[in-house]
Amino acid sequence: MLGKRFSRIAVGSVAGVLLMAAAACGGSGNGGDTSASTASSGGTSSEASKSGLKVGLAFDVGGRGDKSFNDAAYAGLEKAKSELKADIKELSPAADGSNRGELLRQLADAGYNPIIGVGFAYGEDIKKAAEEYPDIQFAVVDSASNAPNVTGLLFAEEQGSYLAGVAAATKAKSGHVGFVGGVENDLIKKFEAGFVAGVKSVKADAKIDVKYLTPDGDFSGFKAPDKGKVAAEKMFQDGAEIVYHAAGDSGLGVFQAAAAAGKKAIGVDSDQRQTVKEADLQSVIMTSMLKRVDVAVFEFVKAFQGGAKGGSNTVYDLKVDGVGLSTTGGEIDDIKDKLDAAKKDIVDGKITVPAKP
């Protein structure tokens, strides 16, 4: 059902990965100081050593501690450690992300296999690393690949954002809402497109404010809470009741603005009402659009352990609960029927959610 903090993925979209497995028998960060994060989380346990599974993960800009995208990936890595007895290592890139390729090579040279790059910006670097290390399996989140040793882990962000739009439009009495995007690129525009479509499905004449923090190519927009706060403050001042963000660590500023204005916000990627520590900020998060990067990371590692190889792309959509809405706090419980109906129409193909604004 919609909104559950699920831990399973249906066979449908992941058939390619899992069939191969069966045939073979699977924000903070360190501020660019990669040396500080080269040690495996928690060290190498005797159980991990016995398993022989060594999993490396390179974060996107913002690193571990962003309470959103990167932390969702880390949750999947931690699950691989606890359930699959994997030896894990995670690295964070420099603030501008310029050393992504170097991080992948560090992990490869240290014997980690498989290796996961978190974020579409790893696309080209993963491609090069995969050619240099053909015996290592790689995965890249949010980027498609056809390399024989690379698996693309993709999401239908527009579908989950559509549900966020339905929730926002239903809850905003005035019909005035907002969207804050971290970086104005094609990926984040998928969030905007779905959100706007969802809002308009409820209120065709709704007013929707849209603001991107940085232009395409400038990834600092995912790590600028001050800019997120200013953008959301303007929206709330102009009358918006609810603001949805797809801005990584910058979303903290959106929550701060909502708290100051006595308004509501919608989080992204993780259940941010649970990941944000400040109680006054938790209460403003009406729901979060869940992007199950944790599930994708874990399922990839599990498939690898079972003998799966790359060369395919796996899509996590509403049909397999790869995206959805969180229900912590109970603020959307009263509109569950409407949200479930919208989800069903998307899964059944009655609604095609746009991926571009």
Query: Which are the contacts of 331, defined by CB distance < 8 A and separation ≥ 6?
Result: 171, 264, 286, 287
Q: What is the pLDDT of residues 37-91, one digit of tens each?
A: 333 333 444 454 556 999 999 999 888 988 888 999 999 999 999 999 999 999 9
Q: Which residues pair with 212 in a beta bridge?
A: 181
Q: What is the pLDDT of residues 247-283, one digit of tens each?
A: 999 999 999 999 999 999 999 999 999 999 999 999 9
Query: Which are the contacts of 346, defined by CB distance < 8 A and separation ≥ 6?
Result: 159, 162, 318, 353
Residues 122 and 174 in one domain: no
> H or E segment at 289?
strand 285-291
Residues 231 and 283 in one domain: yes
In contact, 68 and 270? CB cutoff 8 Å:
yes
pTM of the model: 0.81
Mean pLDDT of 91-95: 92
Number of domains the chain contains: 2
CA-wise closest residue to 69 among 279, 260, 219 = 219
**pLDDT exceeding 90 applies to what percent of the chain?**
79
Task: Collect contacts of 343-350 with beta carbons under 8 A, ≥24 apart.
Answer: 343/2, 343/163, 343/318, 346/159, 346/162, 346/318, 347/318, 347/319
> H or E segment at 153?
strand 150-155
Dump the DSSP string for 57-109.
EE--TT-TTSSSHHHHHHHHHHHHHHHH--EEEEE---TT-TTHHHHHHHHHH
Residues 131 and 204 in one domain: no
In contact, 11 and 297? CB cutoff 8 Å:
no
Q: Between β-strands 285-291 and 115-117, what pairing exists: parallel, antiparallel or unpaired?
A: unpaired
CA-wise closest residue to 335 among 2, 66, 32 = 2
In-domain check, residue 171 = yes
CATH for 100: 3.40.50.2300
Domain range for 96 is 15-156+293-320
Q: What is the pLDDT of residue 341?
A: 98
Farthest CA pair distance, the chain: 61
Q: Is the dihedral of CA 45, 51, 52, 56 positive or negative?
A: negative
In contact, 220 and 214? CB cutoff 8 Å:
yes
Residues 133 and 234 in one domain: no
**307 pLDDT exceeds 70?**
yes
Q: What is the pLDDT of residue 50?
A: 56
pLDDT band at 115 (very low <50, low <70, confident <90, very high): very high
In-domain check, residue 10 = no
